[in-house]
Amino acid sequence: MQRHILGIALAVAAAIAEKIPFPLPVLPHLIASPKAPSTAFPPGAARDPSKICVVDPEATDAGPALISAARDCNNGGTVVLLPDTTYTIASPTDLTFLQSVDVLILGTVVFNDDVEYWQTKAFGYAYQDAHLFWKFGGRDVNIYGLGTGTLDGLGQTWWTAKRSNETLYRPILFGTDGLVGGSVSGLNMKNSPFWFNVIMNSSDILITDINIWNEVTNSSSPPANTDGWDTYRSTNIVIQNSTIDNYDDCVSFKPNSTNIIVQNLHCNGSHGISVGSLGQYQGEYDIVEDVYVYNISMNNASDGARIKIWPGVPPNTTGSSSGGGAGHVRNITYELFYNTNNDWAIQLTQCYFASSQEACNAYPAALLVEDILFKDFYGTTSARHDPQVGTIVCKNIRAENIAVSPPSAATAQCICTNVDEGLLDINCIMP
């Protein structure tokens, strides 16, 4: 019997060895370009090419197997998920202990779609009820897929379930929590139940060459809230060279996102590249500052460049998530922005989720918005607001070379409220 078991183990090991590409593909040389962060990313430690840990392809639940491989290869190794292999993660997988390790995903990672199970088992966060199947953290970690690795959230199950229960939690496909230094590159991401990515409590991360999309098999239950990326309480992050076809923000800078570069993205069907929403929680001070958005192609979206802030609330309002938070938005640049069939090329609102314009006027937002630049905007909006192509509120907002036209070819207009028109290279009209 022992010989029989040993023979099976050796056969499995041989089969795994045959699937490992040799020599092992190394992490591509990744750089932030053309814009680079003002603070250079810290250098990573050397990797040992002989230290390879393969995630067991026979595991019914790949979560524990992935954790085991990561522990074995921590401090200089590479964890490998084999090509032509599907790994199913069926339990919460905490990878926040990583140290100087790479994760090479060459196969497909699928997340079990047992909706009821994940309601109590997913990693939960108070902010906007965010939940995660798995989470990455630690120091000096690179997760890469070389264009073949795929993450599949089996989203249609979740989108359909949401139709009958608006309160259920839908996990995020990929997330970092406390990751300092590293990269995420060369991955395909599809069918996320909720946001595709969240970068939380993290810094010094380069994200590049990601392909994001949804596959809808039930048109009566389309995707919802499938943001491409959300950054939260994070700094010195670069997101670049990626394609996003989704149903909500292409990228959203949530509270306390600082020193962020987003560049060379192709976004379709989204709600734009958004600062916010901010000011949602009473007693919180939200900051978004030093953000550069460069060379964006935005198609078929509700908005192109967007800043969304919750208004204030009446005195003694109960419920901490109904608006009324404080904070500031400062030093935000959107430059070189191509619009095709977007409802608004630019939208800056301080009435996000307001019950009415009157209510918003009575209780204005408490956040300070300053030093915002929209520059070199091109293309054509949709017919939805023709001839209006944008809406701007707040002083100290600059707009330069805004060459966006409505489809009727009428003179483009921008709805302007409480602005300094001398700073706006656009035809303002009052609301």
Catalytic residue among 4, 271, 328, 385: 271
The closest alpha carbon to 255, from 280, 272, 237, 238, belongs to 280
Reduce the DSSP state of residue 369 to 3 states and report it.
strand
DSSP 241-276: EEEEE-SS-SEEE-TTEEEEEEEEEEEESS--EEEE
Centroid of chain to Cα 28: 22
The closest alpha carbon to 204, from 38, 391, 400, belongs to 38
Q: How far apart are CA 390 and CA 408, in angstroms?
A: 15
Residues 157, 163, 168, 172, CA torsion sign? positive
Scanning the structure block, which residue is given the tokens 């990751």?
Answer: 179
Reduce the DSSP state of residue 352 to 3 states and report it.
coil
* Contacts of residue 177, Cβ cutoff 8 Å, sequence gap at least 6: 96, 123, 132, 135, 136, 137, 200, 201, 202
* Contacts of residue 133, Cβ cutoff 8 Å, sequence gap at least 6: 89, 92, 93, 111, 118, 122, 153, 171, 172, 173
* Contacts of residue 285, Cβ cutoff 8 Å, sequence gap at least 6: 325, 326, 327
- What tokens does 217 get? 């098999």
Residues 64, 69, 75, 79, CA torsion sign? negative
Centroid of chain to Cα 190: 13
| Annotated catalytic residue 271 | yes
DSSP 75-121: TT-EEEE-TT-EEEE-S-EEEEEEEEEEEEE-SEEEE---HHHHHHH
The closest alpha carbon to 259, from 36, 64, 14, 34, belongs to 36
The β-bridge relationship of strands 229-232 and 257-268 is unpaired
Please list the active-site residues. 271
